[in-house]
Amino acid sequence: MQPTTDPTAAAVLAVVFVPFAAAALVPLVYRVLGERTAYYAAAVALACFSLVASQYGTHGQVVVPWIDSLGVSLRFYVDGLSLLVGFLASGVGVLILTYSGGYMHDEPGKPKYYAALLAFMGSMLGVAFAADLIALFVFWELTSLSSFVLIGHYQRTDDSRYAARKSMLITVSGGLFMLVGFLLLHEVVAEMATDANAFSIVYMLEHAEAVQEELRAAGLFVPVLGLLVVGAATKSAQVPAHIWLPNAMEAPTPVSAFLHSATMVKAGVYLLGRFRPVLVSHEWELLLVALGLTTMTVAAVLAVAATDIKELLAYSTASHLGLIVAGFGFVSELGGETGAFHILNHAMFKAALFLVAGIIAHEAGTRRIQGLGGLKEDLPITAAIAAVASLGMAGVPPFNGFYSKEFLFEAAYHAAAHSGGLAWLFPVVAVFGSVFTFLYSIRFLMLFFGEKPTGLHTVHTPPKTMLVPPLILATAAGIIGLGGVTATFGVPITPLNHFVGEVFASVLPPAEAEGVHFGYHLPKHVSPAAVMSAVTIGVGAAAYPFYGRLHDGINRLLDVDPLRANWYYDGAVFGANGLSDRVTPLVQNGLLRTYATWTFATVSALALSGYVAAGISIPAFEGLGLSPALLLVLLVAVVGAVAVSIAPSHVSGVLTLSILGFMVAVFYVLADAPDLALTQLVVETLSLVIFLLVLDKLPAFYGTASRSRMIRDGMLSVAVGATVFVTVLVTTDTSPANPITDFFTNPAVTVEKAGGHNIVNVILVDFRAFDTMGEISVVAMAALSVLTLIAMRERGETQ
């Protein structure tokens, strides 16, 4: 069963990087092709699809070194699961990009749209194939970034911006949780693996049980599990992070179809599938099944309350992702089968339905459920597509969604029968949620039947580019459904079963993955799962006449603020906005002294609390150990410092400050650092001269400060002084056994190699010349920015 051929490195790398390169070329291509850029993009996606297809049947990894010193590589892994997501991302990508050619006809910002869509596809392929924790995280966040651009496509509308920001905030912050989980995982794996393998997911998969034991031994199993699930749940819109998905429907419909049915939201369940072999356990089951079934039910109920067809589909997506999560959650093999199979089924019917929704919105001009009906007359082919897809979504036999839902019911029943007690909630909740799934699926289908409401003008036939992609998807969904029927009569679709079997094998721990077989068929006799399906459809059909009342009732419930997750999100985000509006004028009021106050106070507080937290003790005082000459110089410096603070005018302030500076220079001379002394002298002279230049422009006397301000500033300066003092004491307390001076004072190094006797200069121009180069670039940039600022002011740009 397990294929052993290794994947072709060039092909795998090309799959991931070609879309990015193609995205970079879009602006140029658009200039030449204009509207037809859609076909260019679709061709790129097709190329990726065929590259993925060429790797079908291979199994293994491709490694490209990336950050060697940290053991991070660009590691790509080809197995059933990554191929499935890779096929979905590129295959659905082809259809979506083709469809976009028709849909985006009159829309603004097309180059940006195609570039972002291609970049998104690349990131998604990266997520699918990446097998290095860091690389996976990078691609993961890239999908969030590119989807941010895509959701906010209509950047001039507030709704669109709100939606883009919401999805970004939720998915990116979830990704950060995941990163912490990854780093903990890495720490633990580093104990047992070589450095080069510590980030490798392949290694973890191969040693799944050992990794889990190690995690438990370190007491990090539950934290890692929790953090990864947070990442997956935000990405896959699980309750309560499901709120970004309906808003994301602000994006153009092809984007919704692509991101929110087939790909991005699948990244979360993909992650769960990917780590399932490593983390699967009792805790895993409890957490994921509870999360998944809750999401499935809550989102299905919300979908019934939806008034917009895309909103309905969005909630239904969240609901089906909940089903997949719950499926992966069950420890039994049936759970893995549910997840693996439903990812495929859901992508087929939901992408098709989104495209159908796009056709309706585009041709009927409205997306309000109330205002639509009887579309079958004008859109017969679309109606057929919708029928296959939504019956699949409803879980009606013999359509594709039925079989994967059947696996879920079976898994839930077995888990309940095995554990008993509260576990009986699993099948009950699963059936309850499925009833609502059935309801909204039928409601969507009914858009095409019944009477045409008044006010709906003639609906045009969509262009072929918009019709063919959903047709292909629905055909695929139909074939999967038919496969179950033929399998009942002993003729299964072997290639499909084989493929899903491989996906299934990759979500199982290696010990169980040997020789698994996958097959599905209609129930041949009365089983618990078949009864559950029958109950679902029966109750659903009985409740459908009351759909309107249910819809209204749920909406009335949602008017209660604390029942809506959105209410919490808006409260937090707008609360944070208000807070920053209040804080900003305090911290950044345009006065240099305010910035200095805050910066100094923060640095002191952080440094001092850091010392306290680390329990650092100040070394014992061992006498000054200074020569009288040095002591005298430092004494004069202290006098100068005091004099600066009580200087009555600018001139005396500058002069006393110079005393301090020159004393430091003399100190350098006495401490055998002529180069430093020279620099200090020269810089001190220059700043004195510059002060003289500006001095007569300034008022002669300082203003008077209030007493409270004086006290505050005094305390602050004491704190800063204390911080610096402690820092110097602590840092100079221990010196390394092999100071670096030994290396540089060695004549064999400085004189022989660099031909110079002045260590400081040799370091500056030879050993660390690259640093110096950076520094002089900074100096040059500073000069340029001064020029720019002055020039801007003269053109009247004061802000």
Binding site for other proteins (CB under 8 A): 674-675, 677-679, 682-683, 685-686, 689-690, 692-694, 696, 754-758, 760-762, 764-766, 769-770, 772-773, 776-777, 779-780, 782-783, 786-787, 790-791, 794
Q: Least Å distance between CB 243 and other proteins?
A: 52
Q: Least Å distance between CB 465 and other proteins?
A: 52
305 vs 763 by CB, closer to other proteins:
763
Q: What phi and psi, each to the nearest 5 degrees, are found at residue 701?
A: -120, 150
Q: Least Å distance between CB 781 and other proteins?
A: 9
581 vs 794 by CB, closer to other proteins:
794
618 vs 751 by CB, closer to other proteins:
751
Closest to 76 (Cα-Cα) out of 126, 18, 140, 1 = 126
- The two three-digit tokens of residue 471, written as one number: 């047709």
- The two three-digit tokens of residue 385, written as one number: 């597509």
284 vs 668 by CB, closer to other proteins:
668
Q: Least Å distance between CB 696 and other proteins?
A: 8
Closest to 469 (Cα-Cα) out of 377, 382, 341 = 382
Within 8 A by CB and 6+ apart from 537, the residues are 394, 395, 396, 438
User: Is there a cis peptide before residue 240, judged by omega within 30 degrees of 0?
Assistant: yes
- How far apart are alpha carbons 196 and 73 in whole angstroms? 8
Q: Least Å distance between CB 797 and other proteins?
A: 13
472 vs 677 by CB, closer to other proteins:
677
- The two three-digit tokens of residue 747, written as one number: 């004549």
Q: What is the radius of gyration, based on Cα positions, of the chain?
A: 33
Residue 200: left if φ>0, alpha if ψ -120 to 50, beta else—which one? beta
422 vs 689 by CB, closer to other proteins:
689
Long-range contacts of 653-661 (CB under 8 A, 24+ apart): 654/688, 654/691, 654/692, 654/695, 658/684, 658/688, 661/687
Q: Least Å distance between CB 629 and other proteins?
A: 20
526 vs 790 by CB, closer to other proteins:
790
**Is 163:246 a contact under the CB 8 Å cutoff?**
no
- How far apart are alpha carbons 749 and 770 in whole angstroms? 18
457 vs 757 by CB, closer to other proteins:
757
Q: Least Å distance between CB 657 and other proteins?
A: 17
**Is 350:237 a contact under the CB 8 Å cutoff?**
no
- The two three-digit tokens of residue 568, written as one number: 């919490």
652 vs 761 by CB, closer to other proteins:
761
**Is 65:75 a contact under the CB 8 Å cutoff?**
no
Q: Least Å distance between CB 760 and other proteins?
A: 7
422 vs 592 by CB, closer to other proteins:
592
Closest to 679 (Cα-Cα) out of 690, 688, 668 = 668
Q: Which helix (H) or strand (E) holds 471?
A: helix 464-488
Closest to 170 (Cα-Cα) out of 578, 577, 570, 561 = 570
Q: Least Å distance between CB 212 and other proteins?
A: 47
Q: Least Å distance between CB 681 and other proteins?
A: 9
Task: Find the helix packing angle between 208-217 and 221-235, rounded to 10°.
Answer: 120
Q: Least Å distance between CB 658 and other proteins?
A: 13
Alpha carbon distances (Å) from 333 to 337, 408, 414, 463, 496: 6, 11, 11, 44, 18
583 vs 692 by CB, closer to other proteins:
692
581 vs 696 by CB, closer to other proteins:
696
Q: Least Å distance between CB 713 and other proteins?
A: 27
Alpha carbon distances (Å) from 40 to 32, 36, 409, 466, 505: 11, 7, 44, 16, 36
